[in-house]
């Protein structure tokens, strides 16, 4: 889009917004489907994201427009999720509802204009960016106070309870706590966040397969349920464990014959991912970038073989990337079942290398993946 977020606001609502907030997209670096299993995950906020411009209205209406959708209108207090073309409004409306329940008082409605620099549908969580940008904008508008973790929880609660997606805290947490030139580590059991400096000279490339399973949300919910069932079965042997992240690899192996074979594979993915997050932390501390890359590759293999959340196109992208000597490692990023692959590369990996991969992919599937390079950026914030 060529106009600024304030100009876009002016086009629809005439005049200046009183507040502007920005929230970034995120990369899931490693720790796949660990978040709702009380585990460890490392991600990074990116520079691209969503900007929200808001202003109070004189009446009790909420009007929301986005550069991807129509102008929508509903009365303040009408907080029912909608289906169809306007379902993107469930994110800011869900956030409004959650913030109201947490004590945000709204006497008047608001005008909200949403603009995005984040490619949607590539697994970089435009939904968390929308939630967090809305939360920061509304907090400023209605003088509501919370801290960074509070903003992350508001976004997650809106997603879980209003949008109806049983996600963990990864997307909203990384979006909230992002820091330029850093990775963000989350312990989802304690909701502790910390930062890890990005090794110098490393880059992120995203290769979007442009394909997704038709029933992506129900596939995610199915994995969520399988993980819940896996821990239920394992509890027969380990009654004190409340999540899969409290089960060690040795314990899982010892109980292998007593749990359902599919649930064993799901558990093996989560237990393995937690171990790989720890391995990546140690490797980053000693700047052993090849060991980091090996863990990324192993994570993808586990998605493919254990968690069954990869696709043929994603596997092909990872296989092609692994052939390049400038690539440390590659894996699907985010929930899976389609979407994008993330590669960590050295600084000599260039568009020319990316184009070779795109051409090889096209030879197999008849179309090119969307490719872009991104950098770690700062977390969600009020701009003005
Ligand atoms: C999606 C969810 C996250 C997380 C990842 C998988 O992105 O929104 O909460 O579960 O999938 O790691």
Query: Could you give the C-alpha distances from 132 to 35, 66, 152, 172, in angstroms and in order?
Result: 18, 15, 7, 7
- Give pLDDT, residue 217: 87
- Give pLDDT, residue 319: 98
Say which range, 48-57, 60-69, 213-222, 334-343, has the weakest mean pLDDT. Answer: 213-222
Chain centre to alpha carbon of residue 267: 21
Cβ contact 146:157 at 8 Å: no
Binding site membership of 170 for ligand 1 (Cβ less than 6 Å): yes
Residue to substitute in 25, 27, 30, 33 for testing ligand 1 pocket (most ligand atoms within 8 angstroms of CB) = 33
Q: d(Cα 104, Cα 95) in Å, to the nearest integer?
A: 11
The alpha carbon of 170 and the centre of ligand 1 are apart by a number of angstroms equal to 6
Query: Could you give the C-alpha distances from 343 to 1, 293, 346, in angstroms and in order?
Result: 27, 9, 10
Closest atom, ligand 1, to C-alpha of 33: 12
The burial of 137, by beta-carbon neighbours within 10 Å (0-12 exposed, 13-18 middle, 19 or more buried), is given as buried
Closest atom, ligand 1, to C-alpha of 169: 9
- Give pLDDT, residue 332: 97
Closest atom, ligand 1, to C-alpha of 123: 7
Residue to substitute in 212, 334, 341 for testing ligand 1 pocket (most ligand atoms within 8 angstroms of CB) = 334
Binding site membership of 299 for ligand 1 (Cβ less than 6 Å): no
Taking every pair of Cα atoms in the chain, the longest distance, rounded to a whole number of angstroms, is 67
Q: pLDDT of 86-106, one tens digit each?
A: 999 999 999 999 999 999 999
Binding site membership of 259 for ligand 1 (Cβ less than 6 Å): no
Protein residue whose Cα sits closest to atom 8 of ligand 1? 167
Q: pLDDT of 121-167, one tens digit each?
A: 778 999 999 999 999 999 999 999 999 999 999 999 999 999 999 99
Binding site membership of 167 for ligand 1 (Cβ less than 6 Å): yes
The alpha carbon of 124 and the centre of ligand 1 are apart by a number of angstroms equal to 10
The alpha carbon of 277 and the centre of ligand 1 are apart by a number of angstroms equal to 15
Cβ contact 39:244 at 8 Å: yes
Q: Hey, which residues are catalytic here?
A: 171
The three state secondary structure string of 267-279 is: HHHHHHHHHHHHH
Q: pLDDT of 227-272, one tens digit each?
A: 999 999 999 999 999 999 999 999 999 999 999 999 999 999 999 9
- Concatenate the DSSP letters of all residues of 42-102 into one string: EEEEEEEEEEEEEEE-SSSEEEEEETTEEEEEEETT------GGGGGGHHHHHHHHHHHHT
Question: How much of the chain, in percent, has pLDDT values that exceed 70?
Answer: 100
The alpha carbon of 56 and the centre of ligand 1 are apart by a number of angstroms equal to 33
Closest CA to 175 of 233, 135, 219, 141: 135
- Give pLDDT, residue 28: 97
C-beta neighbour count of 135 within 10 angstroms? 31
Q: Terminal CA-to-CA distance of the chain, rounded, Å?
A: 21
- Give pLDDT, residue 64: 98
Cβ contact 380:328 at 8 Å: no
Cβ contact 47:55 at 8 Å: no
The pLDDT confidence band at residue 1, using thresholds 50, 70 and 90, is low
- Give pLDDT, residue 2: 81
The alpha carbon of 33 and the centre of ligand 1 are apart by a number of angstroms equal to 6
pLDDT of 19 > 70? The answer is: yes
Q: What is the CA radius of gyration of the chain?
A: 21
Cβ contact 145:139 at 8 Å: yes
- Give pLDDT, residue 141: 98
Q: In the predicted model, what is the mean pLDDT of the chain?
A: 96
- Give pLDDT, residue 5: 98
Mean pLDDT of 208-212: 93
- Concatenate the DSSP letters of all residues of 199-248 into one string: PTTEEEEEEEEEEE-TTHHHHHHHHHHHHHHHHHHHTTT-TT--SGGGS-
Q: d(Cα 57, Cα 75) in Å, to the nearest integer?
A: 12
The alpha carbon of 128 and the centre of ligand 1 are apart by a number of angstroms equal to 10
Binding site membership of 28 for ligand 1 (Cβ less than 6 Å): yes
Q: d(Cα 335, Cα 220) in Å, to the nearest integer?
A: 7
Closest atom, ligand 1, to C-alpha of 128: 8
3-class DSSP state of 20: strand
Q: d(Cα 304, Cα 310) in Å, to the nearest integer?
A: 5
Closest CA to 189 of 264, 63, 298, 277: 277
Mean pLDDT of 15-26: 98
The pLDDT confidence band at residue 221, using thresholds 50, 70 and 90, is very high
Q: What is the DSSP letter of 37?
A: G
Mean pLDDT of 325-346: 96
Q: pTM for this one?
A: 0.95
Binding site membership of 37 for ligand 1 (Cβ less than 6 Å): no
Binding site membership of 38 for ligand 1 (Cβ less than 6 Å): no
pLDDT of 207 > 70? The answer is: yes
Protein residue whose Cα sits closest to atom 10 of ligand 1? 33
> Which tokens hold the place of 153?
């929880």
Closest CA to 92 of 119, 74, 117: 74
């Amino acid at each position: 889009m060529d106009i600024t977020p304030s100009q876009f606001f002016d086009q629809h609502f005439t005049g200046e917004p009183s507040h502007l907030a920005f929230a970034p997209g995120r990369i899931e670096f490693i720790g796949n489907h660990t978040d709702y299993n009380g585990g460890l995950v490392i991600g990074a906020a990116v520079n691209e994201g969503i900007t929200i411009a808001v202003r109070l209205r004189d009446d009790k209406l909420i009007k929301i427009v986005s550069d991807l959708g129509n102008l929508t209108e509903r009365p303040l207090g009408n907080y029912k999720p909608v289906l169809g073309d306007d379902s993107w409004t469930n994110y800011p409306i869900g956030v409004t509802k959650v913030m109201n329940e947490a004590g945000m008082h709204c006497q008047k409605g608001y005008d909200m204009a949403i603009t995005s620099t984040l490619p949607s549908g590539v697994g970089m969580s435009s939904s968390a960016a929308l939630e967090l940008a809305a939360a920061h904008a509304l907090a400023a508008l209605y003088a509501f106070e919370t801290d960074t973790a509070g903003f992350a929880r508001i976004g997650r609660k809106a997603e879980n309870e209003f949008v109806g997606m049983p996600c963990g805290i990864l997307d909203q947490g990384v979006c909230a706590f992002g820091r330029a030139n850093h990775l963000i580590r989350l312990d989802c059991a304690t909701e502790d966040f910390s930062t890890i400096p990005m090794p110098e000279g490393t880059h992120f490339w995203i290769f979007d397969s442009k394909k997704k399973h038709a029933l992506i949300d129900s596939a995610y919910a199915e994995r969520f349920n399988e993980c819940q069932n896996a821990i239920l079965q394992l509890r027969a042997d380990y009654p004190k464990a409340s999540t899969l992240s409290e089960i060690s690899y040795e314990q899982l192996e010892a109980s292998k014959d007593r749990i359902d074979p599919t649930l064993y594979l799901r558990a093996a993915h989560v237990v393995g991912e937690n171990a790989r997050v720890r391995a990546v932390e140690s490797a980053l501390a000693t700047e052993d970038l090849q060991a980091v890359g090996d863990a990324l590759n192993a994570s993808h293999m586990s998605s493919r073989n254990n968690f069954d959340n990869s696709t043929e196109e994603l596997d092909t992208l990872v296989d092609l990337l692994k052939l390049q000597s400038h690539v440390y490692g590659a894996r699907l990023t985010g929930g899976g079942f389609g979407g994008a692959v993330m590669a960590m590369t050295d600084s000599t990996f260039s568009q020319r290398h990316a184009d070779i991969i795109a051409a090889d992919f096209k030879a197999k599937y008849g179309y090119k993946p969307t490719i872009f390079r991104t950098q770690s950026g700062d977390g969600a914030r009020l701009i003005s």
